[in-house]
Amino acid sequence: MMKDWQDLYKSLGGISIDYLIYQKRDNIEQSKKIIPQIQKFVLWFLEENRYGIEAELYQGLSQNLVNILADILEALEQEDMVLMHDALTYGLLEYLELIVVNLKQEELVDDDV
Amino acid sequence: MTTYEKNLKILAKYYPGMDTIITEAKDHMEPDLEIVEESAYDGTTVLKIKKDHKSYYLNGKRNTKDPAKMWVDTLRELQRNAPVLMMGVGNPSYLQELVERTEKRITIIVYEPSLWIFLKFLEMVNIERWMEKHLIIFWVDGLEGMDEKQMRIMLGRILKYEMLNLSRRIILPNYEVIFAEKALNFARICREIAMREVVQFNTQQVFSNVMAKNLFANARYLCNGYKTTQLPGVIPKDIPGILVAAGPSLNKNILELKRAKGKAFIVAVDTAIKPLLKAGIIPDMFVIIDAMKPLELVELKEAKNIPLMTTLNASPEVLEYHEGMKFFYNEGYQFAERIFLKTGQPVQDIPSGGSVATNVFSLFCRIGIKTIILVGQDLAYTGNKSHADGTFQKVMEEEDTSNFMMVEGNYEEKVPTRTDFKVFLDWYNQSIEICQKQVADFRVINATEGGAKIQHTEIMTLSEAIDQECTKEIDIQECLGKLEPMLKEEAREWARKYLHGLPQEFEKLKVDSGKLKKSYEKLDKICNRKNIDQKEYLNLLKKIKKISTAMEKASTYQLVAITLSNAQYIMGNEEFMSEDTMQKEGKEIARKGILYTKNVIEMAELFREMAEDIFADLA
């Protein structure tokens, strides 16, 4: 599973850099291709508190993630590149960073196994 | 006082009357979109635009600064006066980051297509310090005087060739969706202006080497020549002017022109002369402006005496071959202007447009002709050919146009064209519109029967155009026969003496450049010292300025400067780059100054010799 999140992290990073550095304006099109992975990640995160995060914090993070997903879906519907960038780069990407970069060390048991 | 009111006051300080214009527009215009204000997570106001059942944020809720910061990071260090074109202020963080993080004074053109977003912007941020720090031009659709025409003029003044590689451009995210057409148009205008500058620069580059030689060789013809300003006095305005260009469609209707002879003022471009003469049609005038046009294109006995409109810069071989009346117009060469002024008539130019055909069009306008018929003005590769058969080759070869840009056609949906043709096409589109606004009943009939569609023209066949417009008999040669050469005997004698004296003027320029070079060398010396005497440094800069200003006034300097256009471009470009310390700056000024004056000295010497050779036998 971690491999999936690493791939998603890379894809989102690429979309984000294209938007920020190269001023590419196709993040809606690019995001459409990875929507299934995004939904999978959100469900995976909400399914259970895998990292033993404090309950209240986990609840807050979960609620925030739901809001991020809602914004991504709204951005898709409205074709709003600003909202999409905001939700992906300053929302979802931070979760993935937390999992892929910071919590990787703590993940002793791969839940795929 | 609210932020909005303060900003209006600031705008009025820099652009008197802008506050009133904004207030009036606000009172009279209906909103064309809905603006929703929301609070970002950091409390900043972000705008959401609702249009056509969709909604678009102009700034993010989670991070309102980062995209703008990253964009400014990618710009690296902007040079002084560098133009930055920005479409949109609905997310003020872009302008804010740019203004606050750019230390050198730059020129920022902010184009906002919505008055209502602009008004919100004025409520959201205080622009006082931004306006002090940089030159910021706010261009807002809907404000009085801010139309496309004025925008082109404004951008044309800022986007000069030497500034192009220093310029930066951004269309704020979502603007290209919300204002798709306006964003495309803005990008198109910028591209066209940049393209025009590049074409002009490249042309100047190509021709600068041969220019001086041509100018000197042709200057002799001024003594017995004519001016285009004499034409309105003898050419009737109530006949049509027929512009015969050499596009591939000319072959379709060339023979029709026989019927127009004696019923219109027929002026042909140089390349069209051969096919016309071979078809038995002698135009009333032909035009050559190209500095490197091969004589073969007009080398026919019948062409020798056809009146010619030309420039000092045109191919001297053609002017020497030609024996008839030569009409010149002012191209801004100072040494020639001195001769033109001796005619006692105002000096007048012909707006060029860049091609020989656009010159003919401008000539008709200057004369006051109200109906212009275009023939062979394809501005496209009709039938995949660049020119009519019988021009450069007996039968022109078809070219592969699969990668060419496509434009709307007169008869076909799309036709292939190339960059320079597109520049001329844009020129026609604008010029005809302007003429139609300025001159009542001004008409342009495009009788090309192929090629690219020119806006504001009536499309008809040449046969129909002749039947409809060529109804009055006229003998153009009789009209032109009434004219005397532009210089009277006394002025002609003065012109001869003046041209004889040009070598001495170049010698003087050489001496003055030598003085200037010495001053630059002194500047370099001063800047090598550990401690620079600031007073001495500034005085020397003043002296340099004084000598160069005096030198630039000489009519001979202009010829040298045009020839050194490449060097001038480098100087012009670097003029906008500044160094950190006075010492470094001074040394850089000296380095460039020495290099440039050295070139001027060499060039002045070369021109002195050339002028001596050419004018020695001037009768």
Is there a contact between A90 and B63 if contact means CB atoms under 8 Å apart? yes
CA dihedral B573→B579→B584→B587, nearest 10 degrees, is: 20
Q: How far is CA B606 from CA B212, B509, B559, B595, in A?
A: 10, 12, 12, 17
Which of A20, A71, A81 comes nearest B70 by C-beta? A20
The bridge status of strand B45-51 relative to strand B443-446 is unpaired
Q: Which residues contact B53 (CB under 8 A, 6 or more apart)?
A: none
Question: Tell me, what's the pLDDT at A104?
Answer: 59
Tokens of B185: 């148009």
Residue range A45-58: average pLDDT? Answer: 91
Report chain A residues whose CB lies below 8 A from the CB of B70: 20-21
Q: Which residues contact B537 (CB under 8 A, 6 or more apart)?
A: B523, B526, B527, B582, B586
Q: Which of B571, B567, B603, B565 is nearest to B588 (CA)?
A: B571
Question: Do B196 and B430 contact (CB within 8 A), yes or no?
Answer: no
Residue A109's pLDDT band (cuts 50, 70, 90): very low
What gap in Å lies between CA B185 and CA B181, rounded to an integer? 6
Most distant CA pair in chain B, distance: 85
Question: Do B93 and B124 contact (CB within 8 A), yes or no?
Answer: no
Q: Could you report the average pLDDT of every consecutive run of 10 residues in chain B (619 residues)?
A: 95 94 92 93 96 94 95 85 93 96 92 96 96 95 91 88 82 95 89 77 61 82 91 94 95 94 96 93 93 83 94 89 92 82 73 82 93 96 89 85 89 90 90 91 95 95 96 95 92 90 91 93 89 87 89 83 62 51 81 83 86 78
Q: Which of B345, B356, B365, B355 is nearest to B227 (CA)?
A: B345
Does A87 lie at the interface with B, CB-CB under 8 angstroms?
yes
pTM of the model as a whole: 0.57
Look at residue A109 and tell me if it is in a domain. no
Is there a contact between A82 and B170 if contact means CB atoms under 8 Å apart? no
Look at residue A86 and tell me if it is in a domain. yes
**E strand residue ranges, B8-167:** 34-39, 45-51, 54-57, 83-87, 107-112, 135-140
Assess: ipTM above 0.85: yes
Question: Tell me, what's the pLDDT at B303?
Answer: 93
Q: Which of B142, B109, B125, B143 is nearest to B32 (CA)?
A: B142
> Which residue of chain A has the CA closest to B49?
A80
**Where do the domains of chain B lie?**
3-196, 223-490, 501-615
Tokens of B346: 């105002």
Does A5 lie at the interface with B, CB-CB under 8 angstroms?
no
> Which residue of chain A has the CA closest to B73?
A21
Percentages helix, strand, coil for chain B (3-state, rounded to 5) are 55, 15, 35
What gap in Å lies between CA B397 and CA B385, rounded to an integer? 6
Q: Which of B3, B169, B153, B8 is nearest to B75 (CA)?
A: B169
For the stretch A62-71, pLDDT in tens is 999 999 999 9
**d(CA B19, nearest CA chain A) in Å:** 31
Does A90 lie at the interface with B, CB-CB under 8 angstroms?
yes
Structural domain harbouring A13: 2-102
Question: Do B90 and B64 contact (CB within 8 A), yes or no?
Answer: no
H-run or E-run covering B337: helix B334-341
**d(CA A71, nearest CA chain B) in Å:** 10
Q: The dihedral of CA B344, B350, B356, B362: what is its sign?
A: negative
Tokens of A31: 């995001």
What gap in Å lies between CA B488 and CA B63, rounded to an integer? 76
Q: Which of B292, B288, B353 is nearest to B327 (CA)?
A: B288
Is there a contact between B54 and A78 if contact means CB atoms under 8 Å apart? yes
Question: Tell me, what's the pLDDT at B204?
Answer: 60
**B85 phi and psi angles, rounded to 5 deg:** -100, 125
What gap in Å lies between CA B313 and CA B324, rounded to an integer? 18
CB atoms within 10 A of CB B150: 11
DSSP state, B79? P
Axis crossing angle, helix B180-219 with helix B555-563, rounded to the nearest 10:
120
Is there a contact between A90 and B60 if contact means CB atoms under 8 Å apart? yes
Tokens of B101: 């993080």
DSSP state, A89? I
Look at residue A19 and tell me if it is in a domain. yes
For the stretch A8-32, pLDDT in tens is 999 999 999 999 988 889 999 999 9
CB atoms within 10 A of CB B104: 15
* Count of domains forming chain A: 1
Quick check: A45 pLDDT over 90?
yes
Question: Do B375 and B250 contact (CB within 8 A), yes or no?
Answer: yes
